[in-house]
């Protein structure tokens, strides 16, 4: 094309290919999830630029030699000029300036900054991959793939930075070529073809503007494509630019309603066409109302049989079964199934104006995090369950029924003892709450009496929340796996990279997960991750047993444990274990290569448990659970010994209590 003259028909074909390829690349850029999906784009920029310049040379040769360059250039010239050469030339300049100053300049700057940032971030990303590999979070193959992806990103944005110079030069060359064609055409037409000035201007200006347009429009599309590719933020594989724009812009319906009001208001200004602004305002308003209606319907979710919704952060929990019979699906970690009557109840607002799904459950999850430091998964709520009676509910763990409950209609729950309720002549239904403690259902008509008597009660929705909270506490270790611990470590690495690096060097992720599970099994919070990791970095140098490491971590958390069991007071009320029992347990500990275990004979176990039953008094409703104080070397064995019969008794060691906290004995567990 640059050297060999081409006939007008071939030039038309080349121009058509150039325009079509530009449109095609723009469409591809709209649908890629990340820039790496079009890593060949810098090379394509060079190829399309040279192809376009070749077309420019061929068309210029035809214009200057024959005053004709094919139908496409002629049509573009007629369309833009429209009989007025001055206006046509101005429009051509405007299009060219927009491309040069706005699109090309902006895309060039974005590519330059992106290349610099990617290069600066490479060492940090490489170090993060190495840390993940050492910690066992990823294997060697995954590490190699991640390094290759980082290298590919750096090369792509570096190449884009250079390739944008081709587009900038192409725009300048297009302007110069068009001016040369006009000046050269006028000279050739007047001097060589005997045309008058007006006729030469008509022919060569029309053709030069047409030639400039068929070059600049594809160049503009390629520049726009380059801008989209370089500004594209990586997203999931199933997303594209159009989908993300539509989902993010209409995410907040109130913005659409405000835009509708503002647009309509502008239409009432004097001289403005009201009809055009009214149409746009109507479109914005209808979209806003439709989205608000959709959100309301999704929030209720109780009108249709078997409706369900997941309460929690995006991506939490599992996934429901796929419609494709060949697909796999994850189990839902927590499901709350409700009978028909309770399904209607959760749509109502509570006495404080709260919504069960949108407010009460998220607040409960946040309170649980503050208590134990675990980000619990979202709760999948299934309403109108056909397998439950109207006032029944059921909690499922990993889609397996775990616990059920029943709420009498129009009743509230109280932990008050039966004698106090009888004193106020209140009829009640005896009941054991989620913790197994005696409670009573009282008619909601008696709420005024309960309030006057300062008797605390819980509404049905609050009872469900309490049951869910108890369920999460008792099964905390089920929601703490390798993936969750990895997320915690990654969070800590942002603020304490050296600490995390040292701990992950000493302890594999699997053992770290086991330590965390042992802590939360006994309701010890892991929210203070820094203290836990500092303790592990100190003791893991010499100790590899996760059981002993857990005990050392507990000792480092003495401030938290002392506060938890003293309830902020200066003394802890505890039951003491007789030294004779401690020696009995100490002598029954067997050490093996796989670890240690307690080999206590059944008669001794029964004697210890009998002594505890005789010594420990029942916990009053709402009271602090009993605490048993032992030596550190037998603490975990005592806990294992009594956990089946006394699951709510906390067992702590002397090393877990601050020196300034006074020990207040409530009794001594001893064998007579």
Whole-number Å distance between alpha carbons of 34 and 460: 49
441 and 569, same structural domain?
A: no
User: Do 7 and 64 touch, CB atoms closer than 8 A?
Assistant: no
485 and 394, same structural domain?
A: no
Token reading at 224: 């726009």
**How do 571-577 and 627-630 pair as beta strands?**
parallel
Higher pLDDT, 562 or 320: 562
Q: Which domain holds residue 37?
A: 8-242
421 and 438, same structural domain?
A: yes
Count structural domains, the chain.
5
**How do 595-598 and 627-630 pair as beta strands?**
unpaired
pLDDT of residue 619 exceeding 80, the answer is no
Q: Which of 57-66, 114-123, 476-485 has the lowest mean pLDDT?
A: 114-123
418 and 277, same structural domain?
A: no
pLDDT of residue 514 exceeding 90, the answer is yes
Whole-number Å distance between alpha carbons of 73 and 59: 9
Whether residue 152 is contained in a domain is answered as yes
| Residue 90, pLDDT score | 79
Whether residue 299 is contained in a domain is answered as no
395 and 492, same structural domain?
A: no
Q: For residue range 16-55, what is the model confidence (pLDDT) as tens digits?
A: 888 898 889 888 888 787 777 778 888 888 888 888 888 8
pLDDT of residue 230 exceeding 80, the answer is no
Whole-number Å distance between alpha carbons of 223 and 106: 10
217 and 163, same structural domain?
A: yes
pLDDT of residue 310 exceeding 60, the answer is no
Token reading at 391: 């006032």
| Residue 212, pLDDT score | 79
237 and 112, same structural domain?
A: yes
Of the candidates 474, 507, 531, which is a domain's last residue? 474
User: Do 38 and 155 touch, CB atoms closer than 8 A?
Assistant: no
Per-residue pLDDT band for 528 (boundaries 50, 70, 90) equals very high
User: Do 277 and 267 touch, CB atoms closer than 8 A?
Assistant: yes
pLDDT of residue 496 exceeding 80, the answer is yes
Whether residue 430 is contained in a domain is answered as yes
349 and 284, same structural domain?
A: no
Phi and psi torsions of 499, nearest 5°: -65, -45
User: Do 111 and 164 touch, CB atoms closer than 8 A?
Assistant: yes
Q: Which of 47-51, 100-104, 243-247, 471-475 has the lowest mean pLDDT?
A: 243-247
202 and 85, same structural domain?
A: yes
Higher pLDDT, 591 or 124: 591
> DSSP class of residue 303?
S
Q: Which of 168-172, 508-512, 573-577 has the lowest mean pLDDT?
A: 168-172
Token reading at 246: 């539509």
Of the candidates 201, 224, 242, which is a domain's last residue? 242
Give bridge partners of residue 311 from the DSSP assignment: 379
622 and 588, same structural domain?
A: yes
* CB-CB neighbours of 589 under 10 Å: 14
Whether residue 111 is contained in a domain is answered as yes
Q: For residue range 74-83, what is the model confidence (pLDDT) as tens digits?
A: 777 777 666 5
Whether residue 435 is contained in a domain is answered as yes
CATH of the domain at 499: 1.10.8.540
Q: Which of 9-23, 167-181, 399-413, 566-580 has the lowest mean pLDDT?
A: 167-181
144 and 98, same structural domain?
A: yes
Of the candidates 474, 498, 524, which is a domain's last residue? 474
Per-residue pLDDT band for 362 (boundaries 50, 70, 90) equals confident
Give bridge partners of residue 443 from the DSSP assignment: 411
Whether residue 307 is contained in a domain is answered as no
Give residues with Cβ within 8 angstroms of 295, minimum separation 6.
253
Enter the pTM of the model: 0.55
| Residue 318, pLDDT score | 42
Q: For residue range 371-426, what is the model confidence (pLDDT) as tens digits?
A: 999 988 888 888 888 888 888 999 999 889 999 999 999 888 888 767 777 777 77
Whether residue 315 is contained in a domain is answered as no
Whether residue 44 is contained in a domain is answered as yes
CATH of the domain at 367: 3.40.30.60
Phi and psi torsions of 220, nearest 5°: -65, -40
Whole-number Å distance between alpha carbons of 183 and 166: 26
Whole-number Å distance between alpha carbons of 213 and 437: 83
3-state per-residue secondary structure call for 116-164: HHHHHHHHHHHHHHHHHHHHCCCCHHHHHHHHHHHHHHHHHHHHHHHHH
153 and 28, same structural domain?
A: yes
């Amino acid at each position: 094309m640059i050297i060999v003259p081409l006939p007008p028909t071939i030039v038309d074909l080349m121009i058509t290919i150039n325009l079509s390829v530009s449109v095609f690349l723009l469409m591809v850029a709209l649908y890629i999830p990340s820039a790496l999906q079009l890593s060949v784009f810098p090379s394509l920029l060079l190829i399309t630029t040279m192809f376009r310049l070749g077309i420019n040379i061929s068309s210029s040769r035809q214009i200057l030699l024959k005053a004709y360059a094919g139908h496409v250039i002629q049509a573009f010239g007629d369309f833009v000029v429209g009989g007025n050469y001055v206006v046509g030339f101005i429009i051509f300049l405007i299009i060219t300036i927009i491309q040069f100053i706005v699109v090309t300049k902006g895309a060039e700057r974005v590519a330059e900054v992106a290349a610099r940032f990617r290069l600066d971030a490479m060492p940090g990303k490489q170090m993060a991959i190495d840390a993940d590999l050492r910690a066992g979070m990823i294997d060697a193959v995954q590490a190699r793939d991640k390094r290759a992806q980082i290298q590919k990103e750096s090369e792509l944005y570096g190449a884009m930075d250079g390739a944008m110079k081709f587009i900038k030069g192409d725009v300048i060359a297009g302007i110069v070529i068009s001016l040369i064609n006009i000046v050269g055409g006028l000279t050739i037409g007047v001097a060589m073809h005997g045309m008058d000035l007006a006729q030469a201007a008509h022919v060569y200006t029309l053709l030069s503007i047409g030639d400039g347009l068929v070059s600049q429009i594809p160049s503009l599309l390629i520049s726009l494509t380059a801008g989209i590719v370089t500004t594209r933020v990586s997203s999931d594989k199933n997303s594209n630019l159009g989908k993300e724009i539509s989902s993010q812009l209409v995410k907040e319906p109130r913005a659409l309603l405000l835009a509708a009001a503002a647009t309509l208001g502008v239409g009432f200004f004097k001289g403005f066409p009201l009809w055009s602004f009214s149409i746009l305002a109507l479109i914005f308003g209808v979209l806003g109302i439709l989205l608000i209606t959709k959100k309301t319907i999704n929030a209720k979710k109780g009108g249709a049989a078997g409706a369900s919704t997941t309460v929690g952060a995006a991506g939490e929990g599992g996934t429901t079964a796929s419609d494709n019979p060949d697909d796999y699906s994850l189990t839902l970690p927590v499901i709350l199934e409700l009978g028909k009557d309770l399904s209607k109840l959760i749509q109502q607002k509570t006495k404080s104006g709260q919504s069960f799904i949108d407010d009460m459950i998220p607040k409960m999850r946040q309170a649980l995090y503050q208590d134990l430091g675990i980000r619990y998964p979202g709760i999948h709520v299934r309403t109108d369950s056909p397998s439950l009676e109207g006032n029944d509910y059921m909690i499922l763990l990993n889609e397996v029924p775990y616990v059920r409950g029943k709420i009498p209609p129009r009743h509230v729950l109280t932990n008050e003892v039966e004698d106090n309720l009888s004193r106020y002549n209140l009829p009640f239904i005896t009941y054991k709450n989620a913790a197994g403690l005696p409670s009573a259902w009282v008619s909601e008509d008696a709420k005024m009496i309960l309030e006057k008597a300062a008797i605390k009660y819980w509404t049905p929705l609050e009872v469900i929340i309490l049951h869910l909270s108890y369920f999460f506490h008792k099964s905390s270790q089920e929601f703490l796996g390798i993936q969750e611990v990895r997320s915690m470590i990654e969070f800590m690495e942002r603020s304490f990279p050296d600490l995390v690096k040292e701990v992950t060097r000493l302890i594999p992720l699997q053992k770290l997960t086991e330590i965390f599970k042992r802590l939360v099994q006994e309701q010890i919070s892991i929210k203070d991750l820094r203290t836990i990791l500092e303790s592990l970095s100190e003791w893991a140098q010499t100790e590899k047993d996760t059981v002993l490491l857990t005990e050392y971590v507990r000792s480092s958390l003495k401030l938290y444990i002392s506060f938890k069991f003293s309830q902020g007071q200066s003394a802890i009320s505890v039951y003491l274990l007789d030294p004779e029992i401690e020696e009995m347990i100490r002598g029954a500990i067997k050490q093996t290569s796989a670890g240690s275990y307690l080999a206590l004979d059944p008669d001794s176990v029964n004697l210890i448990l009998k002594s505890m039953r005789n010594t420990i008094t029942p916990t009053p409703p709402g009271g602090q659970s009993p605490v048993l104080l032992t030596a550190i070397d037998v603490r975990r064995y005592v806990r294992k010994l009594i956990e089946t019969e006394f699951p709510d008794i906390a067992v702590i060691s002397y090393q877990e209590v601050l020196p300034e906290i006074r020990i207040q004995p409530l009794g001594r567990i001893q064998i007579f």
